[in-house]
Structures are given as C-alpha cells and as structure tokens.
Structure 1
Amino acid sequence: MNSRQLVKLAYCICLLPLFFACSSERDEGNEGSGTLHVQVNANTEVLVGTNTRMDEGTDESILDVNDFSFSIFKGETLRGEWATLAEFLADDELTLRSGNNYVAKASYGDVNNEGFELPYYEGNQPFVIKRGQTTTVEVTCYLANAKLSIVYTDEFKDYFSEYTAEVTTSLGNTVNYVSDETRYAYFKPGEVQVRVKVKKKEGYSQEVTLKVGEDYALEARHAYILTLDLDAGTPSINISFSDDIPNQEPVTIIVSDEALSAPAPYFTANGFNDDQPIDVVEGKSAEASEVYAYLNAAGGIAHCYLTTHSSSLIEQGWPETVDLTSVSAENLSAMQKLGFQMAGLGDKKDKIAKIDFTNVVPFLEYTEEGTEHLFELRATDKLSKENVEPLKFRVSSKDNQFAVSAGQSVLYGTTKMKANLTLDGDPAKVTYWLKKGETEQQVVPSSVKSNGTSHDLVFKFDESQYADIQMEARYLRRKSTLNSMLEAPAVSLYLEYPGDVWTKEATLHKRGTLDESWTFQCAKWKKNELGSWTMQAYSLTDDAIFLNALTDSTKYTYRFVKFDESQDIIGASDTLSIVTEKEFQIPNSNFETWYSEKLYSTIGTIYTFYPFAKDSKTENRWWDTSNTKTTPNPGSAGAWYYRSFPGTVPTSEEQYTATYHLNKFDKKKLATGGRNGSIAAEISTVGWGTGNTWTAWSQKAANKTAGSLYIGNYTNKENYGKVFVSRPTKVIFWYRYYSYDNESTEPLVEVYSEDGSKIGWGKITINSTVNEFEKAIINIDYTGNERKKAAQIRVIFSSTNSSSPKSKAIEGEQFFGVGYWDSRHIGSVLTIDDVSLVYDK
C-alpha cells in the first residue's frame, strides 16, 4: 500500500451539542436573549502529497471532544476560556450581547509540543447571537501540525548493522526515531532537518552521522513519509520524500568506505572561544583584532548555514537563517552593511572558507530586554556529513552610556552652543542633527574635548538661532535629544511707524540696553535671498536709530549682535526687515509720447491731443489734459478755432501751438519747440464756445479756460492723482512762460496718504515771461506727516492760476469770406519739459 492510496484506518467525528441562554449586557445596546447551540467536530483527515486525503488513523487514542479546550472571542478580546468543553457546559455566568460578532474556538494539544502521540487540533467559527432565536455554532477542528514517518527499505536494513534517525525542528527540538519505529511524529509547521546515524555490517565499522537532503518544509494537516533505500552496487543511500509531492530532486548519499571514513567538516574559531561569550561595549570592537571562523571540509563544502539570534541585526535586514553558499544579493547586501565579510563561499566554494565577524561586533546593540547575541555555524559537505556540533559565537553587549545634554542656557540669536556627550566609545562616530521645523540639518562640533566617557562639545552654526535649539545625536541606532532653551532677546528692534522708511533713510527703534560689546549689522537681500551680514553705520538718539545712504526699493534686515573673544556671535537681537521706497519716476515725463485725434474737419480741421500712447491701458496713462472740455463741436459748417481748440499741445505739432499763432499773427518772438530739441508740452489759456462769433468789429469769447496738464484723468471733469507709494522730496522741471495781462501760474505737487489726508505738498509761483527754458524746483514739505506712507501723488501744471483768465483775440490769415476759421483766443502760455522726481530722504 503506497502513499497514493486512500487509507481508512479509523475515522471519528465526535459531536457534543449543548445549549444555554445568552442575555445582552445592559451597557452594550439592545436588551434580549437567545439560545446558543454549540457542536464541536474533530476531522482527522490529512493530506498526503498534494491532493490525496487519508484518515489520520488510530495510532493515537481516540479523540474525545470533551477533552478539547474552548474559548469565545469578541474581536481580539477574549470573552471566555474553558479548559474543557465540560467546563464550558457547566458555566452559567457568561453573557453575550445579541447582534455582536463573536468567534468560537476549540483546540486540542499544543502546537509547540513536538514528538510522537502529540497531535494538535484547532478550529474556529464566527457567529452572531440572534435575539429570541437558537444560534447553532459548529466548530470543526483539523490537525494543525504536521506528521512525519521515516521508513527503511529491506535493502537498507540488510546493509547496515545499526541505524537510527533524528529530526531537528525550528523550535530547537530533536525527535529520535529508533530503528524499529513505525509511528508518525508530530511537528509544528515549518522546516525540519533530518539526520541518520548508520554503521555498516562490513567494511568501515565506525558510526557515521549523515544529513539527509535539504531542510524539509512541513505544512499543517499533512502526513509525510521519508523513505531511505540503498543501492548496494554504488553503494549509496537513496532518499525519497512523500512521492506525491511534485518537482522533487532525488537525494543520493555515497556510503563507500572512503566516503564514510572521510572527516566531517569542522570550524576553527579565532578571536573567541566556542560557546563562550565575549563582553563588548556597544559600538566598540572586540579586544581581538580579528574575530572570524575558518571552515574546513575535506569532502568539499556543500552548505554553510548561519543562524543568528540578534533582534537588533534582524530588525535591520540581517537574515535569521541563511545558507552562506547561496545567499541572495539582498541578504548579502544587508549583512555587508552591518560589517559582515566572507571568503571561499558562493559559486567558487571548495574546501576552505572564512566567515568574518570582526566588523559586525560594533553593530551589536545593548538593550534592557537582552544583551546577548548568538551566531551558530553549521556546515555540510558534499558527502552529507555535518560538523558534530554547531560552532557558537556569543557576544554580550554592554551599555555604552550614550546620552547628550545641553550646557547652560544661551542667548537669543547665538551661533554657538556648548553641550556634553556621555559615551563609552568614539565620539567621532556620533552625528548631530539640528531640527528645522519638519526638516533637519547635520551639524558637526567645532571642538570636542574628552575626559574618559565625558566629552565637552562646542557647536558653531552657520546662522543665528532665534528659537529654542533642538538637536538629535545619533550613534549607531541610538538617539538622544538635546533641547537648549534660548534666553529672551536682550535687545529688540521695531519700526514705530511705517512711514519711518523712506528711499534713502530710515528710523528704527530699539528696546533694551546696549554696551560696547554689541555691534549693529545689516544684510541686504538679493532676489529673495538674504545677503551676508556687514557692520552698519548709524546714529543713536535715545532709542531711535537713524540710517542713511540706503538704496531705494531694497529689502534690508537689521540686528544687533554680541561677539565673544573668538569673534563668534553669542547673542543677538531679534531681526527687523524693512523695504525702502522706490525712486519712481512718472512715465512720459519728458513728454515724448502723444497721440492725436481728428475731431472736426469741414472748413479747417480741429484736432485734440493726448499725452499717452493711443492703445495704452488706463492704468498706464499718467498724464492728462482738459482738452476734451475746450474742444466741443464747433457747430455750423466750419471748424472754427475760436470756438473749439485744445489748450495742451505737443510742441512737435507746431502749427497748432499757441506760440506759433502768437509769433505768426501777433508779431511775438517767443521760443518754440522742446528742450534740447525734444518734444515739450505747451499749455495755453483757450477761449472757446459754440456760440462764439468773429467779425471785423466783434471777437468775444464765451468761455476762457486755463490750459492744464496734470497727473490723473479727465472724465467730464479733472480727476487729479494716481496711486503712488513713494515720497519724493522735490519735483524738478524745465519751463518757458508767456504771461498775458501780468498773469502768473503756480505748478503744484501734493502727496496723499491712504486715509485721504494730505501729507506732503509744494508749489512755486511763475509771474513773469521767461522765453528760454529755465529749471524749476518744487520742494515737497512733509512737516508733521513724516511717519505716514504715501498712497497718491498729484502734479498739476496750468497756464494761469487766475480764476478769471484773460485771453486775446488773435486773427489768423483766413479772411471773413471763410469765417476767420483759424483765428483764436489765446491767453498765458506755459511750456513744460523733463519733469523728474527727486528723493533726498
């Protein structure tokens, strides 16, 4: 009968129905009760090979479910546990809540008990108590460990006078199979190793221990048969393992006298003694300069197994058990990172190998839970012989006392900090990480002074520290946190008013007392990056700090710093950043950009002129005029200048200027054109009105309006001003002036704050004719309002400041037959060029 046959040695299903009432707990929801019917079954079928089932048999005593332990869980919480079903039946104190999810579990034996007659059964079943109903819970238990039988063929028995087998498990248990053993032994699922001890009847007469194949993986609810046969012709032992399992490689062991008499592999320890621990402080090396094991295998190295018992190494990727002759690249990389080295193993293995732990020792960690680390080496040669006992390398790690602490508190803004490191080890192997919010930056101590296990540290930072210093020290996998509290700033800076910052000057204020050890510093920003700190000149009156020679539209950051004798910053004020105002110039203040628009064209043509580009956006139009007011529809059939004409004209359109008309028709000799040959803006008083008439005896103007040029825009009225956040101290411009009837003009500048109040203003009076360009300066007075920021600027030029301007009728060359259409009413004329803003403060 082979293992493919379905064998029915015995089959037992034991049922035990029992009933009890369940009532819900008052604090768990709905009240109610139901009946629980529990049925426990033991299914003794096992798998042989891949898909063949057979009954487990009657080699053990008949299972009685009354001997099964029983428990009930609610999620992960144990609600009740009974050593036997009988105890469960007798328990009338258990209460279960209807509607809750529970799991019933039954078991027999202990999976960690391995050997003969030690089966372990287990089963569980979820259930829900239904109020007012009977809930049936059927728990079927299956074999939860594996069973293994070792069979010897008659040929094998005839060849050897003595033979026994032993199975070693992952739990460290060893189960011996005597020569006449026919029973199955039970094992926790996992890998096992099988060895056979044999003594030949003839020839080599010494007992020899042989490892039978590779490690075998056993699964729960499986029965396995290991068969040992002999081929006397070779001679060799042939091993088969549960022939229902596919893709198995046959195992053959040569048992000639020569093979059996060959020495088994053995290890030689260097730098340690087998199974005797060496004491090493965590992070240090062993006293011996080298710690390694030599492997000698006269029969040729087949396998070299390393088993490691070290939680710290395994947590870092070191394999718990590994065959060093076929270690994966991933495992080897993890081991090498932790100092492991080997030679003579791998693809080119022969008879000698070296397993080196020298650089592994410093990585062995001390923990309060356990300090010992164990490495076990086993080797198998190509003749299936093993070293008699595994070589054991033990290390007992000692506490290195690693800790770091801050020294005395440090001043706000310091770039220097003292700390103390306690370490029985090399302080150079400690790294330090300065916490920066969610990030961290590695820092290196600039000085380390050691005295035994105490090490005084000095740190110098690249920049001042303005928050409590948090630093983490790391040594191997140990971490220690250092927190150094900063004292409050001895000096602080503040800006009393936003308007204290101009384009070239600023006034800051301080709190706190300064002595000569404090230095005032400034850092200028460039493209959103803080520049280097430099000493800053300043004058101090009480708590006011006066700064000058600043650059416009620039961000500055200021601070006071305190240096020690090494010129390291050991304290600082808080920082204060300011941005200077921009030296903004009003666009088109040289009046080179205009565009014209033809308004009326019949007999004569009337144009108006705008001091900005035709397609420019409203926000980009800074200057405007009152031309729209003085150029209404002239009416009737002619385009009469005396009825409609612009008061502000670019000098490049000379034939439309008042100066041109005065020179040609009134015999004046006024200068024309712009300054230095450029374009200027001519601003003249205009007489206009639709009802105006011109005859040889009557030339009256219905309306007389001073020409104007101003910052702002015209929408049925003059809207003065544009948004402007700088504060110029002067306005410079060049002008010519023709004063008619002794009139004067007053160019005006006004600066307003955000609340609409006027904070700066200035004007000059021009009261006589000036025929060549002269330079004019308007000083802007901010007295009493120096601390307010600007929000708007107004610059206004007018041909006259008279509320009733005068004009003169100047007849053109077009006679009465065409209506005198080029005749005009002209008053005072102001020509402006090259307006600029000056920022002295």
Structure 2
Amino acid sequence: MSEGTDRDMKWFSSLLLVLLALWLGGCQEEDDLRSSAQTGFQLTLTDEADQAYSRTAPSALEKPLASMFQLRVTDMTGKVAYSGECTESVLVKEGTYNLAATYGDNPVIALDEPYYMGTLENQQVITGQMTSATIPCAVANALLSVNYNTESLQKVYKDYAVTVSVGDQSVEVEASTGESAYFQAGSTVKLVFHGHLLGTGQEVSYDIAEPVIPEDPDLKPFTNIPAKTHVKIMLGTDGTTSSGAGISVEKVEVSTVSVTETLPMELMPKPKLESEGFENNVLSFVETEKKPAIINLKLSSPLQDIKLKFDSKDEKFAGLVEKEYLLSNADDKAAVENALGITLPEIGATEGSLDFTSLIPQLMTDAGNTVSSTITVDVEANNRWASEDEAVNRVYTLKCNKPEFSIAVDERNCWSREFTIDEVNVTAGDPETIKANLVYQYYDGSKWIDCTTREAVKGRIQQFTQRAEDISNKVYKVRALYRGVIASAEAEATLETPVQLPNSGMEEWTDDNYKNDYYSFNPWKEKTDCHWDTSNLFTTRHRHNSSFLGISTMAHYNGFHSVSYTPNAHSGNLAAEIRSTANGRGNTTGVDAKDYNKVAGELFTGTTNVTMGTSGFFGDADGSKDTYERIKDVSFNNRPSALQFWYKYAPYTSDTWQAHIELLDEGKNVIIQKDYTSSEAKGDWTEAVVDLDYVDETLYSKCKYIYVIFSSTINAGANMPYQKITQTFYIQNGSALSEMSFDDAYVGSVLTIDDISLVYDK
C-alpha cells in the first residue's frame, strides 16, 4: 500500500473513532437520562372504583405485583419506550406517552385466571420531573360461576360437574372447588351438566340451554359476554327425564365485577390482626377499670378458623390455661365463650373481632401485684394462617395493675368517741366497684379492726363503746382495704379529749365583802382562763357610787348580789343560787324599781364587763346608761354532745328560766347552740339535758370557745315579776357557813343549779 493510501486510511480510522465516540457519547447521555431517576413516571395502580393499590400494585397482596402486572409505555409514534414489570418508577425521556398495564394471559378459557388491563393516554413527561401517573385497572375478561342446589341434586347424583366450553376449549367446574370459568370478553359459552346417578352409577349428561331472565328477556347470559361480567347460575333438578331427574337453571345473576372481587385466592393476603386499646400489643389497665380491648380480624375472604390460647395467673381462668382452642371445635368455642364471657365470630363470616372489653374488669391483681394475662391468636382465611408471617406478633398481653385510692380524715370529723373517715378517693380504677368491695379499718396498736357503719353516712365511723373519758388512745391509724388485700396509704385520726367545765359541782366560791354587811360572790377559788362568772358585778355596781362632797352613800335598795351559793346542794356541799333582782344603782324608791335594774340572775362561762354610763355632780345617781357585757372568752377545744345539770326552780308568780349553750370557732362564729327553758316549779332536784342536735353528714368546725349561761328569768325589764323580801344568804366562816339576811331585797324567781356536766356521746 502506498504512503498516501496509508495516510488516507489512518485519517479515515481516526474519523471513524471520533464518530464512534460521538455516537457512544450520545448513547451514554441517553442512558444517563434514563438512569438519573429525574425524568419519568411515578406509578400508582387503582381499580375503577379509584381504590389505590399502592405505587406498584395492591398493597394488601402478598406477592409483589411488580412481577405480575406488566407495563408498556409507548410514545405518540407507537415506539416502545418501556416494556416490562410495573415498577414503582419508570424512567423515560421528555415527551408524551400512552401507558398500558396488564395482568394475566387472557386465556380463551381457564379456571380462576382473571385478566386485568388499565390504560392511560397522553401523559406528558418533562425533563427533570417525575410525573405521577395513576392507571385505573379493570377486569378485561369475563367469568361464569356455577352454584349447585345440593339438597335436590344429592338425592339423585353421587357426583356431578359442569363442563364450560368456548369453541374447542373447555374447563370443568366442580361442585366442591368453588372455582369459576374465566374466558375472553365477547365469548359465547356452552354448558353441559354430567354426573353419576345414585345406585346404578350410570353416567348421564344434559346440555344446559341458555336461560331466559324474566327481568330482561333480551339479555342472553351465555352469548357474547362482555368484559368484567360475572354470570352466576344455580342448577337443580326438574324431574322431567326418563331417569327421573333432569337439570334446570333455577336462578341467574349477571353483575359487573371489580379487580378486588376477582383476585385469585393465592394472591389474596393472609388474614391480619389489628387491635384497639392495645399499644404494641400490650394493654395496661387498673383492676376494675373499664377499657376497650378488641382484636379485629382483617379478612379478604370468609373466616375459616381461629386458634386461641389464654394464659393467666388469675384463678378464675385456671381451667383455660395451657390449651389451644379451635373455633371449628364446638366444645372449644363454648368453653372459651363461657369462661371469658365473650362471643366469638362464626366460621364463614367476612368480618369479625375478638372483643375482650367485658373481660378487663374481671381481671385482678395478685394482692396488688401486677398480673399479666396473654392471648395468643391465629386466624385462617383463604387457606392461609396469619402466622405465616413470622414477624407479626400475635400475642396480646393484658397487664392488670393495682387500683389507686386514698383516704383522709378531716379533723372536723374527729370527735371524742368516734371519727369519720372521708369517703375513699379513687384515682385509678372503677369507683363503684371498689367502693362495693371496700372496708375501712383502724389500728388499735396491735391489730387492724373494721370500722362499723353508721346509717346515712357516706364514710365509715368507728364508735367506741366505752365512755369518752375512759378512752386512753387518742390517735389512730386508719386505712381503706379493697377486697381484703389491697390497702390504701395510712392516714391518722385524732380523737378529742373530753374535759369538764371548771367548778362543775359549784363547790368553789370566794366571798367579796366590799362594804359593811354588803357582799358579792364569785364562783371560783382562783380565777383562771376557763372560769364561771356572774351578773353580780352589775347588780352590785352601786359599790362605785360617789356623791356630793365625795361622801359614799349606799342604801340597801341600791343593789344586791344576784348569784350566791347555798348549802342546799344536789351533791357535795354547795350549789349556785341564781335570783332575779330589782335592786340597783339609781333606785331611790325601792318599791318603784327602775326597769333597767330589773335583771335576771345569771351564771355563765366567760368574763363580766360593766361600764358606768354617767358621772359628774349628782349625775352618778342615774344607772340607765350603765352597760353589762358578757365576754365569751372561755377557751375550750372539745365538742360535747349535750349539757347536763340538776336544778330547782321557784318562779315568782308566772315566770320562765333558761339554760343556753353554744360552741364557737376560732373567729367566735357559732358552731352549734341550743336553748332549754321551763316555767314549771321544781322543789326537788330535777335533771335536765340540753342536747346539741348535730346533723349527720354536716361538718362542724373545731371548737375554740364555749359559752354556757343559766338565767333565772327570760322576762328581764318592765315585765319582770319581783317582790320585796328579807333575803337569806350564806357566807363562809372557816369550814362552816354563816347565815346572813338582807333588807330590803327586791327579788323575783330563783333558779338553783348544781352538778353541771358535759356529755360526750359522739
């Protein structure tokens, strides 16, 4: 070869390499575009009812439909841009495309072989974008199902089937399989019944004529059957043949079916379990609590069976443990339903659930310790068990925890002999159930004792049988106990300590000889914070008189003590004698006593405060503006249930005496009070009881002060009856008493009091 020729060949080879590189580069550019995942389709399949199957196919199906549905993508010239499995995304170049998705081979005729097709046209793709494409799919072939009237057929035939033919191809639709014949849309089918007679075993066959549908006489159910059409026929005997039983079409139904109705059994998903009330298959609850506990069965075909196992430490369910129960076994079904109080679904149901909600309140802890019960479930449908998926947790745990409740004791509910525990406060659990199985207890230092119930009280009350004064233990631990084993936290109840008023026997007195033969009396030996006082400081206020030139004048009619002691006692040596008086400051006539001096004799707990209302030259003779105040300042920290005492009463003409008791709180507000009055003369010692009428279920404040007063009359003032007499009284002379007399005394009714006591019955 010449040198020029050789140069030409080298030049041509170089040019060829350049062109090849450019071509390969172009191909690489196209491959880069196709593999960049930036330009193409993002796919979703649906059926005609617009039920999305997922990006690739029905998500509920077990097998990946990417290997089932085929996708063909063509541009507007008919050139194929993609043909293969229906994947989640398909990469193509920018342009406009038609898409077709198919499933199956569209056989002339076959058993249970549906053919699906879906198309989507004029879908535009832009460079750098993934275009969403939803392809609606439908059944593209037709099907026929045969149902058999077994009651009539089995009287004549020992076995039977129907041959369904399209042209020269056919399939057998047997009675036991439940299969359907699928064939290409627009086909005309021929049906032949054949079977063996009972007894002889003779084989017979009958052509099944195309039935007439009364509702639509023009419809030919076996001729030119359209796509997605489902023909259902019911066959039975008609008794018209020489053998005694021909075949007739008893019923015909023609309907349109969807993809989901025709999916082959092997493609249908395993049954699944979904729960309500559980979290990660665990339901925690408190004993007695009511919570939903439901396991729903997600079925794609009728229920075939359930396996159920229930394990629990609860003795009520001991008969169920360590055994697996089958729904298909009638004895097993009855045992589970009776023991657990639930209703199981029926075999053949297309939906159902295991509802353990009513079981939850029946489960109990082990004396407050958490108890776990487990339910193991397996479900069979479309010939598959849920347990085929080993990753699925089919064990459900019911975790029963102890209830939470507490009690308290309001100090206002603690008395001298009894206390009331506040009604239990249930913070976790069913209050009604817990209260129905609850007792209240107190600890006596050695053992827990059940409290007794007092009617009309929500809480429980312990009432001690011994006297309040004899109860040595004042502080008690208390608790609530549920079903005898679960206790609340302890609280404390502190009883009040009953005490009596000072000088209750009226034995302690001091004499006040303030002038000559003028006396006053005080009901104490030593005045303490808690003491009795009298109206004497008011009825003898004349002792403070000062008249003209400072000369003290005291006339008998100016004053007289209203309260003194007497040896005529109920018990002991002395009693209190309380008399109405009309003597007093400013009374210069005696007989014509001033109304403001007509006062009751009073014995009371507290302090007397007397204020002189006038002063100045001759002005101090007038007592009309004098004031007399009873200060309720006797501290007392208990709440008695009654005031008891002994008395005599000598009314002058017609009169009425009174006893009054009231308890006061920290702010001197009245907690409770009660009056006792009588007009009946009593020459002998008579017992009186003034009950404080506490009302059940009412809270009474703790007591801070007590006020008790005895009054010789309730008619003080203008209407008070009195008379002028010589009054006898006594003074202490060492260990003896000396009798004294006072002229003139203006005295009305006389009340004698002794042996005062506070009763503690509550």
TM-score, normalisation: structure 2 = 0.38
Query: Which structure carries more helix by proportion?
Result: 2
TM-score, normalisation: structure 1 = 0.34
